[in-house]
């Protein structure tokens, strides 16, 4: 079933109202439109090609996993609190939409049991798309270039993220991700203000881009993280060739001068000695403990 045809509740309500208005106009009446007996049941029984009506199951709150290869967009408030499919909030644990190219505002807002989310083709996750998904531990968004305001707000179980295509970070994207330990960026070029507030254990940023430093809008963006002045200390892994630039770059230099943000050569902590290799976490964690002992 093509979920993108049913999950935009605002459009659905508008379409139904338009249908009712057309019927009233045709009949020359102004009375409230009431479906005849048996109409709703008949519509619910229409075959969708996928067995029982998935939409009805979601509304009833009986669905825990969704793997839909037909939807090309996840609409605003699609499965989020306050939507027509809001019963899904209490049940969904896993969602996968391999063809969706956009996850709209509040799409999975307040899905507190959602543990796994996969949108391999999505290039944009809009404002609060996954906010308050407090059980979220696995996120697969390899094509995402844009993350909206508060996109991962209060995702308290999320420990790590690999974001190979993201180029910029908006304000508050990871706000209150209190278990987030590391993020791996391949193309990140700019970090805006207040991206990481409440990320109390964020201790490693991996910045693999080798064509210039990643801009930092404000050193206060790391407030309440180990990177902040008075914090326990954080490591930025970047290409060896850029370390000197980072330590002198605007706002990065403030963190570096405080002694709580160190810049280490990425090549020294990858299995193959390149900026693209897998991280040797044992070596990194051991060296970090020594550096901030």
**Distance between CA atoms of 24 and 126, rounded to whole angstroms?**
38
Of residues 282 and 60, more confidently modeled = 282
Percent of the chain scoring above 70 in pLDDT: 77
Of residues 48 and 197, more confidently modeled = 197
What's the pLDDT at 1? 39
pLDDT tens string 271-293:
999 999 999 999 999 999 999 98
Work out the average pLDDT over 208-234. 92
**Residue 284 DSSP SS3:** helix
What's the pLDDT at 13? 61
pLDDT exceeds 70 at position 254: yes
Domains of the chain: 64-291 (3.80.10)
Q: Are 127 and 151 in contact (CB under 8 A)?
A: yes
Work out the average pLDDT over 36-54. 48
Percent of the chain scoring above 90 in pLDDT: 66
The predicted model scores a pTM of 0.79
Helices and strands (DSSP H and E) totals, the chain: 6, 15
pLDDT tens string 8-42:
455 556 666 777 677 666 666 666 656 555 555 44
Q: Are 204 and 182 in contact (CB under 8 A)?
A: yes
269: closest CA among 256, 279, 257?
279
What's the pLDDT at 53? 53
7: closest CA among 96, 148, 104?
104
Task: Work out the number of other CB atoms within 10 angstroms of the CB of residue 137.
Answer: 15
pLDDT tens string 111-162:
999 999 999 999 999 999 999 999 999 999 999 999 999 999 999 999 999 9
147: closest CA among 103, 203, 83, 209?
103
pLDDT exceeds 50 at position 87: no
What's the pLDDT at 285? 94
Work out the average pLDDT over 214-226. 91
What's the pLDDT at 55? 56
Per-chain mean pLDDT for the chain:
85
The string of DSSP letters for 97-148 reads -TT--EE-TTTTTT-TT--EEE-TT--EE-TTTTTT-TT--EEE-TT--EE-
Q: Are 237 and 290 in contact (CB under 8 A)?
A: no
Instruction: For tokens 């690999």, name the residue.
Output: 162
What's the pLDDT at 58? 57
Q: Are 260 and 236 in contact (CB under 8 A)?
A: no
């Amino acid at each position: 079933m093509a979920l993108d045809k049913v999950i935009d509740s605002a459009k659905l309500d508008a379409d139904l109202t338009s249908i009712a208005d057309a019927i009233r106009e045709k009949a020359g009446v102004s009375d409230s439109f009431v479906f005849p007996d048996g109409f709703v049941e008949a519509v619910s029984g229409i075959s969708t090609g996928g067995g029982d009506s998935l939409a009805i199951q979601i509304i009833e709150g009986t669905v825990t996993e969704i793997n839909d290869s037909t939807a090309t967009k996840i609409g605003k408030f699609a499965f989020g609190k306050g939507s027509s499919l809001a019963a899904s909030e209490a049940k969904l644990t896993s969602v996968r939409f391999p063809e969706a190219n956009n996850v709209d505002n509040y799409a999975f807002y307040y899905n507190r049991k959602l543990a796994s989310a996969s949108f391999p083709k999505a290039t944009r996750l809009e404002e609060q798309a996954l906010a308050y998904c407090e059980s979220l531990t696995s996120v697969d968004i390899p094509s995402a270039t844009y993350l909206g305001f508060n996109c991962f707000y209060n995702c308290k179980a999320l420990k790590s993220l690999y974001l190979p295509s993201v180029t910029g970070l908006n304000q508050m994207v990871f706000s209150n991700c209190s278990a987030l330990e590391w993020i791996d960026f391949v193309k990140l070029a700019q970090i805006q203000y207040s991206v990481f507030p409440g990320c109390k254990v964020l201790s490693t940023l991996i910045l693999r881009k080798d064509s210039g430093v990643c801009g930092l809008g404000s050193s206060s963006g790391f407030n309440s993280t180990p990177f902040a002045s008075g914090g326990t200390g954080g490591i930025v892994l970047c290409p060896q060739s850029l370390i000197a630039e980072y330590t002198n770059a605007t706002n990065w230099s403030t963190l570096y001068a405080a002694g709580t943000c160190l810049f280490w050569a990425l090549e020294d902590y990858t299995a193959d000695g390149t900026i693209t290799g897998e991280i040797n976490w044992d070596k990194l964690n051991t060296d970090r403990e020594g550096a901030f002992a």
